[in-house]
Amino acid sequence: MLNTLEYQQPEHRSETPSRRVHRSKSRLNLPVFWGRGKGSFIVHHSAFIIVVYSLLSLCFAMPAFAQQPTADDINAVASNLTCPTCTGINVADCPTETCVQWRAKIGEMLAQGYSQQEILDYFAARYGDHVLQVPPARGFFQWLWLLPTAATILGLALLAYLVRSWSRQPAPAPLEGEDQVVEDEYLQRVEQDLEGWTE
C-alpha cells in the first residue's frame, strides 16, 4: 500500500488508458462522403459506433493487456535491493520471509505499471537508502563515492610528483675510469707518487 508513504504517482499515470484511447479516436478524420447525403445520420453515427465498439473491445481485452510480471521481471528489480535482515544478499536470491514479502510487493508494483527506478525509489524512501545495492550519491553514502575517487586522484598526483622528482635528480657519478680527471690536489699528488714508485 502506498498510501502510508504519500508516494506521489507520476503524472503520466493520472490519465487512464481508456481515456487516452477515447481522445485519440475522437480526432479521427473520416472521409467527407461518409457524413454527407442521404442516410448521412447512420453513416455519420457509424463513426460513433466504431468508437464505442473500439472502446468496448478495449475494455474486454484489458485483462489480456495487463502485464503480469514474471519471476524474471521481479528478480531484475529485486537484484538491485539488499536484504535488510541478512548480510549483503540481494532480495532476488534471499529466501527469508522479508524478501519473499518484498518480491511480492515488487510484483504488485510492476503489475501497476511502475518502472524499475520508481520501485527502487519507493523502497529507498520507505525503508532507507541502505536497502539499495548501489548506494546513492547523497547523505552519508556520498562518502562511499567521494573517498575512493579522491584517493585515486590523490594517489595518481602523488605518483606523478614522485616520478617527476626522481627524473630531476642528477645522474650518479660514473665509476672511476682511465679517462677520469682527478681534480683533488691530494689525490693528484698520491697518483704522482705512485707513478714514480712503480717506475
Q: Does 138 bind other proteins (CB under 8 A)?
A: no
Cα-based distances in Å from 15 to 20, 21, 67, 133: 7, 10, 18, 33
Q: Does 163 bind other proteins (CB under 8 A)?
A: no
Q: How far apart are the first and last CA of the chain?
A: 110
Nearer residue to other proteins within complex by CB, 46 or 98? 98
Q: Does 4 bind other proteins (CB under 8 A)?
A: yes
Nearest approach in angstroms of CB 34 to other proteins is 52
Cell numbers found for residue 32 = 467527407
Q: Does 97 bind other proteins (CB under 8 A)?
A: yes
Nearer residue to other proteins within complex by CB, 96 or 116? 96
Nearest approach in angstroms of CB 159 to other proteins is 12
Distance CA 159, CA 152 (A): 10
Radius of gyration of the chain (CA): 40
Distance CA 131, CA 134 (A): 9
Residue pair 51/25 in contact (Cβ under 8 Å)? The answer is: yes
Nearer residue to other proteins within complex by CB, 35 or 69? 69
Distance CA 123, CA 172 (A): 64
Site for other proteins in 19-58 (CB under 8 A): none
Phi, psi (deg, nearest 5) at residue 132 = -85, 140
Site mask, other proteins, residues 70-89, x = CB under 8 A? Answer: --------------xx----
Using the contact rule CB under 8 A, the part of the chain among 15-23, 60-68, 90-98, 110-118 near other proteins is 90-98
Q: Does 150 bind other proteins (CB under 8 A)?
A: yes
Cα-based distances in Å from 43 to 117, 130, 193: 48, 63, 132
Q: Any bridge partners for residue 81, and if so which?
A: 132
Using the contact rule CB under 8 A, the part of the chain among 27-35, 56-64, 97-105, 175-183 near other proteins is 97-105
Site for other proteins in 101-130 (CB under 8 A): 101-102, 104-105, 125-128, 130
Using the contact rule CB under 8 A, the part of the chain among 1-9, 10-18, 22-30, 41-49 near other proteins is 1-9
